[in-house]
A and B are shown apart, each in its own frame.
Chain A
């Protein structure tokens, strides 16, 4: 049987980091900050998680420090894009590059190795029912984010800030405060995503180990229209594509074909969703709204 529980489990494992990062991206998007630095924040989280777990022996401290480090890193985006009103896209690209350089640099200065650090003494996260605790946390996070955004006054204000910062400011809501909050939460979520990748899915750190997952998360935000549940479905699609690809490798498909599968599937889904939206609003005159 092809669609068995193993496949589902491996899809769930693959989707967790994407989901956590994409939730962060969605919150930023709602607050009006386009965050394409997810990849870099996640990568920094991977390294911090591994380094802390190795030095303290505790994967939990690894998770905590990954969240804190990525949140601190996300301040670069908050200060640059919100306070200084710089270009968020360029800043995000630069942050991704910086994270690749920084983690490779630290890998060599801290551990004295190049490429990959893995050690039997490195503690990964315990598994509950085959999944790391962060996987369950990510589902809870979807629910919490959905409730906050749709029901709570914070979510209303956050959306208000994203849709019309001036109107929000007139009503006494500080746009900068909400945007800082959104960017910092995306940092925390990306840090958790990184910890899951480095201590949950595997137990090691490899240079550039996020390998485009942060970008997939950016796409998941677009695909899920920045709605928590939409983002969950988009991440599930990616997780399934990765799991099915991995399974097909077992029946002799070359690895290169299965490596490309998640990106192709994501792109295809993006086509379908934008094409459908366009048919509904034919007057959109080329704009992507």
Chain B
């Protein structure tokens, strides 16, 4: 039983894609004159050693959060490309709440988290409405809506909420105590617990509830699910609101951790949305797989810096590696998406 499962996992397209990605990465490393084994060793020790594990878990918090945000709709075959917009709106809303809330600090933190989630959810619902009401494919509407959201947040951080006297595009620092508690003196905050809880809730819903079954069924065969009575528009709306809320949560967690303010670009520049999407795609949006894939990509991202120090190979190589894994995987992947079939899109 276990043996068949293990050999099945080894022969799965996911394993093959990861191995192929590592192999192509090794070729790149050889091309730049570095020793692939030294480089990969540096990635692992850099990300999982005592110096790096804190950074890996901090990065992992954001990557897992965004991966969940994109996995939830993906499970039903819907792709939310507006993660960046939902993320920064969550961040800037949480920041504004943290700055102006009259409540005591601990309540302000909770309020800021909820406000961030609400902002993300509201914006994602807008994209869902675009598809349901106006027939603009979700893929396109979510992505196009993302740009104005990023611009709006940038404007707010640079003008109305800007820290007076600072030359940096950032809001004022939050009042004392308005921050997520951290573990020891690390940068890992309670935010990690929150996204892991979200992952657990997703696992439970997916595995044990009728709603989770509806989602999976829609992802496997959306035509059949409509026959079986799944209401497509409503499902899109629900899944997108959860997706947006999770992205908003990541934004809120981001600003409520060091440096306790909204810094323009700091949420989008690391590319959590795309790394998260990659992780969700790699795992086929399955809950446990998404968790593992997110950790794998967080290790790559953080370990890339260590690799750069040891081998002088630019850390961007790890980004190349991530994408190559998905390219290999996508060639074997078939997602049913009735709304985006060729005649549907045009």
Contact = CB atoms under 8 A, between A and B. Distances in A.
B333 A108 contact: no
Contact of A271 (B132, B136, B277): B136
Nearest to B314: A108
Interface residues of A, number: 54
A64 B151 CA distance: 35
Given A264-B148, A288-B137, A222 B345 contact: yes
Given A34-B340, A93-B277, A219 B151 contact: no
Contact of A221 (B147, B323, B331, B346): B346
Interface stretch (A12-20, A95-103, A168-176): A95-103
A29 interface: yes
Given A162-B342, A225-B346, A271-B134, A101 B147 contact: no
Query: Main secondary structure on chain B at its contact with chain A?
Result: helix
A237 interface: no
B322 A97 contact: yes
A193 B79 CA distance: 27
Interface residues of B, number: 57
Interface of A: 29, 32, 34, 36, 76, 79-80, 84-87, 89-91, 93-95, 97-98, 100-102, 104-105, 108-109, 162, 212, 215, 218-219, 221-222, 225-226, 254, 256-257, 259-260, 263-264, 266-267, 270-271, 274-275, 278, 284, 286-289
B327 A91 contact: yes
Interface stretch (B95-103, B106-114, B152-160): B152-160
A225 B346 CA distance: 5
Contact of A80 (B139, B277, B330): B330
A289 B344 contact: yes
B307 to A, nearest CB: 12
Interface string B301-326: 00000000000011011011011101
Contact of A87 (B151, B320, B330): B330
A97 B314 contact: no
Given A85-B334, A254-B159, A263 B319 contact: no
Contact of B334 (A87, A256, A266): A87
A104 B308 CA distance: 14
Contacts of A271: 130, 134, 136
B86 interface: no
4 tightest Cβ-Cβ pairs between the two chains A and B: A101-B319, A98-B323, A94-B326, A80-B331
